Structure 1
Amino acid sequence: MTKGPDSADIKSEIDNVIKKINDVEEQVRTADDAVKLATKRGLRSRTQLRKTAKELQRPDLSEQERAALVAQHQSCVATLTAAEKDVERLSRKEERLRKKEEQLRKKEEQLREEKLQQDGAAAGLGKESATGVGYSLKATRMMKALHSMQALPGPGEVLKLDVSFLFHPMYDSLFVREWYPQLFDALVCYPKPSKYIVTGTPGIGKSWFFYYLLARLLKSAAPPPFIVWEHMTKPGKAWCYTHETREVVLGERTSFDDVLLNPATWYITDGVPPQLDCLARIVLLTSPKRETFKEMRKEAAEVLYMPLWKLDELLACRSLLYGTVDEALAKDLYWHYGGVARFVLQSPEEKPYKGLDELLEELREAVAGCNTAQMRSSIGSISTGPEASHRLLHIVADETFRLGHLVFASQWVADEFAKKAMSDERQGLISLLSSTSGSVRGSLYEAIMHAVLPKGGSFTVAPIDGETWERQGMEEVLVLGRCTRTEAFKDLQTAATEHVYYRPLSPTFETVDAFERGEKTCDFFQMTVGSSKELDPRKLDSLLNDVQLPVGVTPRLHFVVPEDSYPNFKLKAGGKKNWPPKLQSPAFRMKLHIMKGVYARLQVCTRSLHAGCPMAGGGRRLWL
């Protein structure tokens, strides 16, 4: 009878397989880097092609300029063609290498299973002691890589492994967000509660926080003896890491009942309702779906909300990990989708052949499929609203990770929703506006007033004394002319055409939401649903210096407020030592008004905004 290989022989064979895997991994990384470089080269060429194609449409081109542009266009086509061929060739090579790597990993896993059977157990939970439990090679490799890191990266840095993440096999790096350490502290600083729900707007990275949480636990002064986790991709299965052996086994979720009775165990589930009949510390990572977390809420679990991404944070992450995504495209996507990394960074990286319009298709579909009743329901309870509502409404957390309030994903979303609702259910929109509050009401009101003001008409205004901030004299009727069109501006100096309703391209533009130049006046508008507004003369000076109004044109700033806020609305001085503005100050010329923003007579016209305007999207405009 032939004797099989002993445990030492199997270990030696495992070591040889691992060495081959490492060699193939290096080749895969090299091929992957080459694919990314070729893709980036193609993207640059595609962007340049669009620019030259646009330039070639100019009617004032000289023959010499046209010839140069044609040559440049042809060069870009050649570069793009070569880049696409390189991507195809290198992608095939990468695919072959990954298949070879997969075969080697299967071989390693088979050998480890054989070794476990000979040893009789793995982490105390081998096949002889727990039915259906087996060694998990990928999970073990990831945990060992996390444990072997010399130092944890800080906020704004990259956590990078030499293996891929278990549930994101195409990635080996993650961006450590600014608040990750504080959220970890919130999960560990108190012995009770021992059950936590970590949620937030879908797409902001709850599943990525899982890896950071594992790293922090492994690098802590007293790592937990066991970490058990479950994932939505494998219902009914669970992984168990034993710190003593540094190995992970995979089995049925009931296989680890004894481990979960240990209060020192950490139990993490991603998108899966956890077992609650245990003593372990539970962390549920989930989208705001009531069906997933309702049982934990009954057990008095603490709910923590992840913050949305800020633009500068997304751009920092882009420069470190998503270099193939054009920065201008990332900004455009942010101004539409809001602070959701999945749509601002991940989608354009995975679909480099798509431009802005194609990447916005999902958002447009979400707007098109949402009516005022669904919006009202989602505002009332975001956890029970339809999936698409999370594209339109975002959860804002405060500094303690508690729910602050809901906001529209972006002003663009509010604009588009208002256009659709005004066309399909005008009264429903007006009713929704009157029943909402806070940021949602503010965005919705701004969207409606951006439809009203360009059409002109008569508006009731209260003049404001520039020194006392009190209403001055009787109310007046202000007549605004009809604008010829709406345009977005990036630089105020370029927004110089009269009777055009200008809106800032950036949603973070300070001081005003829109303005219109006239022959004798320049009207600035700021929409608000609050009871008061602070005004800083230094910002007014900066605004007027940038606009560069001709002599004889009077600037007027109108604070546009709802009818119910109008009677008691107040202005407050920001930077009181700088107010009132000095005689030579540009702000001294500004006339101030509180405007009653009435919108009950809205109608719809099916004329679209000019091409290229970020507010355009859907072919509708609203009119009085």
Structure 2
Amino acid sequence: GFSVVEFWKNLLDARIIFPIRQDMKRAELNALESYSTIENNYVLLNKGVTTDSDGMLYDNGKKTNVKLPSILMNDFGGMLCLPDGVFFLGNKSYGSKLLIRNCYLQLFELIKMNCKSNGPASAGCTITGTPGIGKTYFGLSLLFYIRYNYPEATIVWQYNEKMCYQFLPNDNVQKEDINLFNRTLDSPNNFFLVDAQALTFNYQAYMIQLTSPKEERFKKAVKWPGFAKYFMPLWELEEITALWTLQYKNKKNFRGEEFTLELVGELLDRWGPIPRSVLLKWDDVAYQQNYQQLINEVNLEDCINSIDKSGMPTDTISGRLVYLDPDPEFASVVYRVASPRVFNRVIQEYEIRTKRNARDLIMSSPEFRMFRGNMFEDIAHRTLQNGGIFRVRCLNGDNSDINERNIKEMECNWFTTLNEARKEYYNRPKSKTFASINSFSLDNKTLDLYQITISENHSLKKKGLNDLDRLLPWRKDVNDFNLYFVVPSNIFETFPLQKYKTTKNENCQKIPSWIDNITQYALEINLGISNKSAKKRSSVAISGDYENEETTGKGTNKDAKKRKTKSDTDDETSESNVISGRRNLKRSNVIDNEDEDASKSDVEKMENEKDCRGCKW
């Protein structure tokens, strides 16, 4: 009890800090002198100084006319640091430092805007999302921001089925059964924060529920008038590496093994950008070994049918291998497999067990529509990496001519940070949340950027391109940029020029000249999907042999082989068995719907040529 009281008393003494980048000039910080100090290469905002998602500074809740340099907030919104020896909620497991994600600030601003009378969240909201992404930590940051913005409010924090903390404006804290706080919860001037518990009673206090996507927890609440549901985004690669740098770098476990950035990359490859799996559980042997068991237990059809009906799968894959990826307004989600490695293995396990082609199933069945993007992205990466001749359309200007582009075969280099990007390789981030692009490669002095999509509306974040310009080690060797939107045949001929957006998904008002000079193209990957507006043509899409890069030696960074763990070796043995079994399966070909009457000899001829619209398979 004493510890949580100390936390509440000292919360107003917490300070927000930002690491100063090596490429940043100190003159850029001059405007901050009245609101910050500089210590040990960090900018420390003064006590009571906060920032919004645009970097505008607030002094004890009042807006100033000073804005943080954008470079400071590129990756995250600062680190909230309590005084030494003070822990969030008085619990050492929560620590005394909290990374403020940019989406925390955006969600707080969204709630503040929509909580007004007759607003969509006038009574409250549920914040949900993929398990393990830190919804509780968002709640802890809310305690800080509510205390500064609503200093007279009382906050009730429910942490189990019945028990709550009541945080009072006079620094006092009470810990009691929720029923004893009814008077507080009956006031619209107060706040009720519910952490990982069901919300079943409609209080007058403003309600914010933080929960995993278990429908039974919020099913009743989302039907109340003025109660909204928002989704918290997955972590971006930069956020994961920033948190590792600030809190996990040089950390060792009880065996003396160091938590290196190299290991972060391996865990990202395995789990995707989930801090619980990649950072918090980095040395939990039982947790990490459970990965292959999860893969083995997945029933692809049951899993996806479950997603379609209830919001998340109900089997053991839940929140570990399938993630919810929200739109920029946090209002709706699409479903994604955790990482390319997970996707490949799930497909392999499914096909060897059922002797069915998973790609055909996903591309044709309405129930599997949320995974089509994943499947197409996986196929597109492999096709681009293998090289060949591709049809392309320039999107700039009025030129709609279709030309051919020859792309050379390249080995894949998986990277965690841009410092690991390599020339003469097909560079692919381990995290699917890498901003703006899916991959890139250097062709002489031209950097080819690839963004893979099955939608005709796929704008690009300016931030990701700026990061590439600023952090790519061999940027000086690049004279020109080409941006290829890699699309299926059915939208290739109609795909339009795309806009550049801010992190808030607003159209960019100012675009750097080098970005404005990027030439945009549509690049076709033919999967046998009919384009009725196009000329009839025969095409064969060969069923993808999902050979894992680590098993075949193709499409992987050679250096990565030197750092494989024992579990990776065991995984490879399993994968090799899967692959060898799949090679004995009958290859399945998909014929363009408009060309089903193509002669068998023509089909066989095309298959022998291993040519799908000029793409090498």
TM range (shorter): 0.5 to 0.7
CA shift, 1:438, in A, is 8.3
2:188 matches 1:260: no
Q: In structure 2, what is the equivalent of residue 183 of structure 1?
A: 107
Q: In structure 2, what is the equivalent of residue 283 of structure 1?
A: 208
Q: In the alignment, is the contact (CA less than 8 A) between 1:194 and 1:281 conserved in 2?
A: yes
**Number of equivalences:** 448
Of 142, 151, 154, which aligns to 2:48? 151
Task: Write the deviation string for residues 571-612 of structure 1: whole angstroms up to 9, x where unpaired.
Answer: 88999x999x9xxx9x9xxx9974523475427588832384
Of 447, 466, 476, which aligns to 2:378? 447
CA shift, 1:272, in A, is 0.9
Task: Write the deviation string for residues 424-461 of structure 1: whole angstroms up to 9, x where unpaired.
Answer: 3434542223337988422211324556788999x996
CA shift, 1:157, in A, is 2.1
Q: In structure 2, what is the equivalent of residue 217 of structure 1?
A: 146
Q: In the alignment, is the contact (CA less than 8 A) between 1:241 and 1:247 conserved in 2?
A: yes
- 3-state DSSP class of the match of 1:211? helix
For the residues of structure 2 that align with 1:214 and 1:524, how far apart are their CA atoms?
41
- 3-state DSSP class of the match of 1:219? helix
For the residues of structure 1 that align with 2:497 and 2:109, how far apart are their CA atoms?
41
AA partner of residue 102 (structure 2):
E
2:276 matches 1:342: yes
Superposed, 1:431-442 pairs within 5 Å as 431-434=361-364, 435=366, 440-442=371-373
Superposed, 1:588-599 pairs within 5 Å as 594-598=524-528
For the residues of structure 1 that align with 2:192 and 2:204, how far apart are their CA atoms?
9
Q: 1:159 to 1:381 in 2, by over 3 A?
A: farther
Q: 1:175 to 1:559 in 2, by over 3 A?
A: closer
CA shift, 1:267, in A, is 1.4
Q: 1:365 to 1:312 in 2, by over 3 A?
A: same
CA shift, 1:526, in A, is 7.6
2:222 matches 1:297: yes
CA shift, 1:243, in A, is 2.9
For the residues of structure 2 that align with 1:151 and 1:487, how far apart are their CA atoms?
45
Of 205, 219, 238, which aligns to 2:164? 238
CA shift, 1:566, in A, is 5.5
CA shift, 1:509, in A, is 9.9
- 3-state DSSP class of the match of 1:174? strand
2:552 matches 1:609: yes
Q: In structure 2, what is the equivalent of residue 204 of structure 1?
A: 133
Q: In structure 2, what is the equivalent of residue 385 of structure 1?
A: 313
Q: In the alignment, is the contact (CA less than 8 A) between 2:339 and 2:430 conserved in 1?
A: no
Q: In structure 2, what is the equivalent of residue 172 of structure 1?
A: 96
Q: 1:516 to 1:346 in 2, by over 3 A?
A: same
- 3-state DSSP class of the match of 1:389? coil
- 3-state DSSP class of the match of 2:88? coil
Percent sequence identity over aligned pairs? 21
Please identify the structure whose Cα radius of gyration is greater.
Answer: 1
Q: In structure 2, what is the equivalent of residue 413 of structure 1?
A: 342
Unaligned runs of 5+ in 1: 1-135, 496-501, 518-522, 549-555
AA partner of residue 602 (structure 1):
S
Per mean C-alpha deviation after superposition, the further-off stretch among 198-207 and 432-441 is: 432-441
2:18 matches 1:138: no
Q: 1:609 to 1:389 in 2, by over 3 A?
A: farther
Per mean C-alpha deviation after superposition, the further-off stretch among 392-401 and 592-601 is: 592-601
- 3-state DSSP class of the match of 1:179? helix
TM-score (normalised: structure 1):
0.57
For the residues of structure 2 that align with 1:462 and 1:524, how far apart are their CA atoms?
14
Q: In structure 2, what is the equivalent of residue 328 of structure 1?
A: 262
AA partner of residue 271 (structure 2):
Y
Query: What RMSD in Å do the two structures reach over aligned CA positions?
Result: 5.1
For the residues of structure 2 that align with 1:139 and 1:573, how far apart are their CA atoms?
48
CA shift, 1:296, in A, is 0.5
For the residues of structure 1 that align with 2:395 and 2:156, how far apart are their CA atoms?
66
For the residues of structure 1 that align with 2:101 and 2:544, how far apart are their CA atoms?
45
Q: In the alignment, is the contact (CA less than 8 A) between 1:561 and 1:595 conserved in 2?
A: yes
Q: In the alignment, is the contact (CA less than 8 A) between 1:487 and 1:609 conserved in 2?
A: no
Q: In the alignment, is the contact (CA less than 8 A) between 1:241 and 1:249 conserved in 2?
A: no
For the residues of structure 2 that align with 1:452 and 1:178, how far apart are their CA atoms?
35
AA partner of residue 186 (structure 2):
L
For the residues of structure 2 that align with 1:512 and 1:385, how far apart are their CA atoms?
26
For the residues of structure 2 that align with 1:429 and 1:243, how far apart are their CA atoms?
58
For the residues of structure 2 that align with 1:572 and 1:173, how far apart are their CA atoms?
39
- 3-state DSSP class of the match of 1:208? helix
Q: 1:467 to 1:240 in 2, by over 3 A?
A: closer
For the residues of structure 2 that align with 1:309 and 1:454, how far apart are their CA atoms?
27
For the residues of structure 2 that align with 1:393 and 1:212, how far apart are their CA atoms?
26
Q: In structure 1, what is the equivalent of residue 86 of structure 2?
A: 163
- 3-state DSSP class of the match of 1:390? coil
Q: 1:573 to 1:212 in 2, by over 3 A?
A: closer
Q: In structure 1, what is the equivalent of residue 295 of structure 2?
A: 367
CA shift, 1:360, in A, is 5.1
Q: In structure 2, what is the equivalent of residue 96 of structure 1?
A: none
Per mean C-alpha deviation after superposition, the further-off stretch among 192-201 and 336-345 is: 336-345
Q: 1:444 to 1:168 in 2, by over 3 A?
A: farther
CA shift, 1:310, in A, is 1.5
Q: In the alignment, is the contact (CA less than 8 A) between 1:415 and 1:444 conserved in 2?
A: no
CA shift, 1:254, in A, is 1.7
Q: In the alignment, is the contact (CA less than 8 A) between 2:308 and 2:367 conserved in 1?
A: no
Q: 1:184 to 1:601 in 2, by over 3 A?
A: closer
Unaligned runs of 5+ in 2: 15-46, 52-76, 252-258, 501-510, 529-539, 588-617
Task: Write the deviation string for residues 172-200 of structure 1: whole angstroms up to 9, x where unpaired.
Answer: 22222223333333334434412211112
CA shift, 1:261, in A, is 1.8
For the residues of structure 1 that align with 2:498 and 2:102, how far apart are their CA atoms?
33
- 3-state DSSP class of the match of 1:288? coil
Q: In the alignment, is the contact (CA less than 8 A) between 1:217 and 1:223 conserved in 2?
A: no
For the residues of structure 1 that align with 2:397 and 2:112, how far apart are their CA atoms?
53
- 3-state DSSP class of the match of 1:391? coil
For the residues of structure 2 that align with 1:262 and 1:578, how far apart are their CA atoms?
54
Per mean C-alpha deviation after superposition, the further-off stretch among 197-206 and 392-401 is: 392-401
Q: In the alignment, is the contact (CA less than 8 A) between 2:158 and 2:195 conserved in 1?
A: yes
